[in-house]
Amino acid sequence: MVAALQTRAGVMLLAVIILLLPLVLPSPFYFRIATLVFIFALAVLGLNLLMGFAGQVSLGHAGFFGIGAYAVAVGPTHWGIPSWAALILGAVAAGLLAFLVGRPILRLRGHYLAVATLGMGLLIAMVLTNEAQLTGGPDGMPVPRLDLFGWRVRGAMPWYWVSGVTLAIAAWLAANLLDSPTGRALRAIHDSETAASVLGIDLARYKLTAFVLSAVYGAIAGAYLALFDGLVTPATAGFLRSIEFVSMAVLGGLGSILGSVVGATLLVVLPQALTVFHDYEHIVLGLIMIVFMVFLRAGIVPSLAALAVRRKP
Amino acid sequence: MPEFLQFLASGLTVGAIYALVALGFTLIYNASDVINFAQGEFVMLGGMVTVFATAAGVPLPLAALIAIVATVLVGLALHRFAIAPARGASAVTLIIITIGASILLRGLAAVIFDKRFHSLPPIAGNKPLLVGGAAILPQSIIVLAATAVIVVLLWALMTRTLIGKALLATAANRLAARLVGIDTGRMVGLSFVVSAAIGAIGGILVTPITLTSYDVGTLLALKGFAAAMLGGMGSPLGAVLGGLIVGLLEAFGAGYVSSAYKDAIAFLVILDVLFVMPHGLFGRAGVERV
């Protein structure tokens, strides 16, 4: 109950921040960064449903991200599908793939699941790289702009609102899900799979639900990034991107909706801020990741929340 | 037939390096449950330090020694300043720490060395040996032989020495190991030392064949991790076999099926094996206590 209240409060806080942030952002450049944060947070939120709540590791999340991104690139360019329909089709395709692959893959546990999802992500990235007549190969391809019933969505400002509102809705949906029997089942699985199955929880079904949901979140985020950037490359779906998502989820805090946003913010904003260090950028980034994880082991948001609770008498 | 032999030779050579990386993963995992994603950076450091030491005029054997010592020091520092302070943290937290360490080491290598590709002169010359119509580089044979020697030495260390037995005890049951007086923290440190040394040796040996640069570690870590899982996490024998199998799959896949999809073939086989054997070829099924 308390946890549910905290999650709700987190979602409210997020919505307020999205609403008020434009008042303090000084230039389109900052809107661009904020949009990127929202898009990555959306993908990480999906991953967090799987990792933080159901306790299943995925090193292939970028594969679904890539499917969404390439759907809005390939669909309109080659088959004349409108961008918004391609976005939905991409999300459905990613969900369907997760559904089909999920059953066999999710029987694996821990690191074995990690390597299986890693393989799945690599296979997706490889198809995107090698089917060059469709995807433009290693160089990627341009993405037509999103046209929403006559409104041409382009530039940082409109995308700020599209991605911000989507993120708020996605967070709200995730919070509701967690407070439902499904959410409680997922958390039980996270704590102990054996205990959960003894209690009569259908492990395979709930894990699959979380996997499909995470894929759909990832695909929508990928489509947004492609439409926002106007360009996709196979790196969108690459292994490094998957690692980036996992890092964001863990840094921010597994099992915390607000944590997904904080983790995404940190790893999107830091590299931008660290460009002042030029060649030393990666050194500083690596150090920050180590220091944060050593001192805030449960992730930034849960660790700080625990500290705040302990401070109170 | 010559084609087959050619693919076999290149598959075994690459596979041997994957095997060394997988072995490094396994050693550290056994001692500490940490999946060390900076393992690939050990391989990179071995190659890069040797390249730059020889460029500075140090003779090759001495340069190789310097590289191994430097990599071991890095491994020790990684343990001392990043892993040990986070003792007791969850597995996924520790993984992110090693990913941070791998980014850090890559960044350091790019600054201290450079971002170009480098090679080393092969130890036994460039003249390929003709075996059954296939051209095999002498360096390939050296890589395979060195891998075999490392595996045998490691086996001897584990089963014939007190330190090795303490390491095995730590892997089997940390609490019980502590109760019989084994300094398990030191054993985890030792596993980092041995893994770093193995990685560095692999990097030095393979550089004449595959070249090296500051960012070769990521792909090696990925392949080595896959190999370790294929073999069954925690099994040194599984790690070596897993590495060789992944290398062979890649070489034969690239040769007979499609070079663009060679990694796909390796991973499809790994996925199929895991579906049938969810704990890899030699892994043991764990029991979850409630």
Nearest CA in chain A to B286: A109
With both helix axes pointing from N to C terminus, report the angle between A28-48 and A61-79 in degrees, rounded to the nearest 10. Answer: 120
pLDDT tens digits for range A151-169: 777 777 888 888 988 999 9
* Structure tokens, A287: 């150090």
Domain-embedded: residue A271: no
Sequence-distant (≥ 6) Cβ neighbours of residue B283 within 8 angstroms: A112, B231, B232, B233, B234, B235, B238, B277
Sequence-distant (≥ 6) Cβ neighbours of residue B272 within 8 angstroms: none
Query: What's the rounded Cα separation, in Å, for the pair B17 and B217?
Result: 12
Sequence-distant (≥ 6) Cβ neighbours of residue B233 within 8 angstroms: A111, A112, B25, B26, B29, B279, B280, B283
Cβ-based contacts of A194 with chain B (< 8 Å): 288-290
Q: What tens-digit pLDDT sequence spans chain B (290 residues)?
A: 778 888 898 899 999 999 999 999 989 988 888 889 899 999 999 999 999 999 998 999 999 999 999 999 999 999 999 988 888 777 778 888 998 899 899 999 999 998 888 888 887 777 788 877 788 888 888 899 999 999 999 889 888 899 888 988 888 888 888 899 888 888 889 999 999 999 999 999 989 888 888 888 888 888 898 898 888 887 888 899 999 999 999 999 888 887 777 778 888 888 888 888 878 888 766 555 55
Side-chain-facing half-sphere of B15: CA atoms under 13 Å: 28
Whether residues A192 and B290 touch (CB distance < 8 A) is answered with yes
Whether residues A286 and B93 touch (CB distance < 8 A) is answered with no
* Structure tokens, B9: 């030779």
Q: Which of these, B143, B199, B182, B152, lies nearest to B26 by C-alpha position?
A: B199
| Number of Cβ pairs < 8 A linking chain A and chain B | 135
- Domains of chain B in start order, with CATH, are 2-276 (1.10.3470)
Residues A72 and A92: beta-carbon distance below 8 Å: no
B 29-58 → A contacts, CB under 8 A = 35
CA angle B146/B247/A241 to nearest 5° reads: 115
Domain-embedded: residue A32: yes
In a 10 Å sphere around its CB, with 0-12 CB exposed, 13-18 middle and 19+ buried, how is residue A81 labelled? Answer: middle
For residue A24, give its domain range.
2-237
* pLDDT at A312 (0 to 100): 61
3-state DSSP call for residue B60?
helix
pLDDT tens digits for range A163-190: 988 999 998 888 888 888 877 887 787 7
Q: Does the CB of B59 have a partner CB in chain A at under 8 Å?
A: no
Q: Which of these, A165, A145, A135, lies nearest to A67 by C-alpha position?
A: A135
How distant is the alpha carbon of residue A105 from its chain centre? 20
Q: Does the CB of B84 have a partner CB in chain A at under 8 Å?
A: no
Domain-embedded: residue A301: no
Q: Which of these, B290, B289, B284, lies nearest to B30 by C-alpha position?
A: B284
Count of C-beta atoms within a 10 Å radius of residue A79: 9
Q: Does the CB of B111 have a partner CB in chain A at under 8 Å?
A: yes
Side-chain-facing half-sphere of A245: CA atoms under 13 Å: 38
Domain-embedded: residue A164: yes
**Residues recorded for chain A:** 313
* pLDDT at A1 (0 to 100): 42
The DSSP letter of residue A140 is -
Domain-embedded: residue A27: yes
* Structure tokens, B21: 């990386």
Q: Does the CB of B276 have a partner CB in chain A at under 8 Å?
A: no
Domain-embedded: residue A261: no
Q: What's the domain count of chain A? A: 1
Query: What's the rounded Cα separation, in Å, for the pair A186 and A171?
Result: 17
Nearest CA in chain B to A290: B97
Domain-embedded: residue A242: no
Longest Cα–Cα distance in chain B: 61
The DSSP letter of residue B134 is E
pLDDT tens digits for range A10-46: 888 888 888 888 888 888 888 888 999 999 999 999 9
Domain-embedded: residue A276: no
CB-nearest partner of B96 from A110, A114, A250: A250
